[in-house]
Structure 1
Amino acid sequence: MWSTHRVVLGPDRVVKTYRPGHEDAREREVRALRLLAVHAPGIAPVIPEHGASRAGELTMSRLPGVPLRGRPLGAPELDAWAAALQAVHTALPPGELAAQPLRPGHQRAVAERLRRWYARPADRPRPPVVRRALDAGRAWLAAAPPGVTGDAPEPGVAPPGVTPCFGPGDGNAANYLWDGHRVRLVDFEESGRSDRAWEIAEITEHVASWVPEPVDVPALLRACALTPAETARLADCRRLLALVWLFLLAADDPAHPRNPPGSTAERQARRLHALLES
């Protein structure tokens, strides 16, 4: 099953075919790969100079390595993951970064999506622990200041002490490849201007970070060396994104699940409660 694209792997090439209506995802990916080829060469696939892709497709180099998702990660992998994030986040000079469009799925869009989800009836009955977590999330969202939900006068502008960055826009650990020495990134369909706290929160709260093999989040955060302001912002970013995942998992059809075994709404409800109480 695929959402915006399907992928065909060759010995040294990858060809992505985008679904009709997702041309903007291809444009973002092409922009990101071209920027990173100039400012952080080697961290991401490259688009070959010859052999242009057909309409609706994108051909790129195939990177070595295995996905970080679903395997135990020790200090070498976590340190390399943090180094790869740092390389991408800081790749663009400030002026060029400021000229980039805000990435899709930043906090204002996420908060608006959550309000829409709360306003509509549930598709199926929810267990009590899920209902309680959703109620707690609603109360937290209603009380959150504008800086948390992205409703500040200048949306997309990083708060003081929080580093603006170029964000890959996807927290799935499957998109980070470990070759035994370093980590490289693939999948930039949702990339754009962002900030470090939001991007790292997308990783810590993605279902891939706790199913099937949980990531040592405190160790990853230590390796990322966040500023005090970023650490403070990270907590609210994690709550916002954990609430998104609770809705997604609660809406999963047990007969046709989209998410991996073990990623239940009940488990996510407990995760959200822990974040709201911390």
Structure 2
Amino acid sequence: MTAGRCTHSLDIRDDVVVKRYASWGRGEPRREWVALTLLAQHAPDLAPAPVESLLEARPPMIVMSRLPGHDLRGEHATDEQITAMATALNQLHQIPARVVENVEPAPWGPAGAVCKTRAWADKQPDLGDDPLVREAFRAGAAWLDSIAPDKLTVNPLPPVLGLADGNRANYLWSSHERRVRLIDWEDSGRSDRAFELGEVCEHISRLDGTLDAAQLLEHLEMGAGEAERVHDFRRLIALGWFLQLGPSGPAKPHNPVGAVKRQAERILELLG
């Protein structure tokens, strides 16, 4: 949930993409290479195929296949695109848990999200004077003070390989093939599926276009009790972004017009 972090540069060639990393303190190049290698074995053609890695170079770099299409950030996602997103996520989450258990945890996950979101709320960020925004802050702070967020830090279900980043720029739509693939695996790792779905539904990139989260979730295969956990993660992640959107918040330079009020409306909807 880091706003405005520039992590890499891309050299896009005819058939491959060369990715050079601007930062690698969390092991981003290794994480991406491990994920692409695992995906090539267990979910082929869902993500770029790994070609070559120079993980010890400075800067580190990897080479991967170039995929067709354009990312969905800024798009008004159609029914067909939403169905294709769900198909891609279902394929990703069907990688066997015994395989995923050997992958290191993603750097961004439930415990960190709960801790950081509560810390942001405790700082009483300046979110402006709009009464609706103030109401959303009060409701969100009350929910964060409850036991509900603590329950999210324990995952009762098998882990999944996750992007740990719900940015819709990570979803590549091929209009020719009528399908979605997943890109940018630098923050990936072993994760909680309900958290991953909450990220997809509530990442701030949703404000750049439209994504019917309820429709997406209808297409996803969920077990008993998982839907409720997804909803609570949606609350948590939406609150995290909301608390960063004020005039001095870290996400401010990237805000679409009216972002704070729109996010306040989302908070009240999710907590309602």
Q: TM-score, structure 2 length as denominator?
A: 0.87
User: In the aligned structure 1, how far is the partner of 2:198 from the partner of 2:83?
Assistant: 17
Indicate if the aligned counterparts of 1:249 and 1:263 stay in contact, CA closer than 8 A. no
Structure 2 residue runs without a partner (length 5+)? none
Identity score, percent:
38
Per the alignment, residue 11 of structure 2 pairs with 8
User: Residue 258 in 1 paired to residue 251 in 2?
Assistant: no
- Alpha carbons 1:242, 1:271 under 8 Å: kept: yes
Q: CA deviation at 1:131?
A: 2.9
- The corresponding residue for 1:66 is 70
Per-residue deviation at 1:258?
Answer: 2.0
Report what 1:113 is aligned to: 116
**Aligned letter for 1:69?**
R
Partners of 1:217 and 1:66 in 2: how far apart? Answer: 20
Instruction: Out of 179-188 and 18-27, give the one that drifted further.
Output: 18-27
Structure 1 pair 221–18 and aligned structure 2 pair: CA distance change class (3 A): same
List per-residue Cα deviations over 1:99-119 (Å, max 9, x = no partner): 222212211101111222233
Instruction: State whether residues 194 and 230 of structure 2, in contact with CA within 8 Å, keep that contact through their aligned partners in structure 1.
Output: yes
Q: Which amino acid aligns with 1:59?
A: V
Unaligned runs of 5+ in 1: none
- The answer to whether the Cα contact below 8 Å between 2:90 and 2:221 also exists between their aligned partners in 1 is no
Give the Å deviation of 1:229. 1.2
- Equivalent residue of 1:102, what SS? coil
Per the alignment, residue 174 of structure 1 pairs with 169
Give the one of 241, 256, 278 matched to 2:237.
241
2:89 corresponds in structure 1 to 85
Letter in 2 for 1:95: R
Go from structure 1 to structure 2 and tell me whether the alpha carbon gap of 1:214 and 1:146 turns closer, same or farther (over 3 Å shift).
closer
**Are 1:204 and 1:217, in contact at CA under 8 Å, matched by a contact in 2?**
yes
Distance 2:20 2:221 in 1: 37
User: Which residue does the alignment assign to 2:140?
Assistant: 137
Tell me the matched-pair count: 265
Question: 1:190 pairs with 187, 190, 199, which one?
Answer: 187
2:48 maps to which residue? 45
For 2:179 and 2:203, the matched residues in 1 are separated by 22
TM-score (norm 1): 0.85
Whichever residue aligns with residue 259 of structure 2, its letter is T
Give every structure 1 segment of 4 or more consecutive aligned residues whose post-TM-superposition deviation is greater than 6 Å.
Answer: none
Give the drift of 1:132.
2.6
Give the Å deviation of 1:193. 1.4
Kept in 1: contact 2:127–2:243 (CA 8 A):
no
After alignment, is 35-44 or 188-197 more displaced?
Answer: 188-197
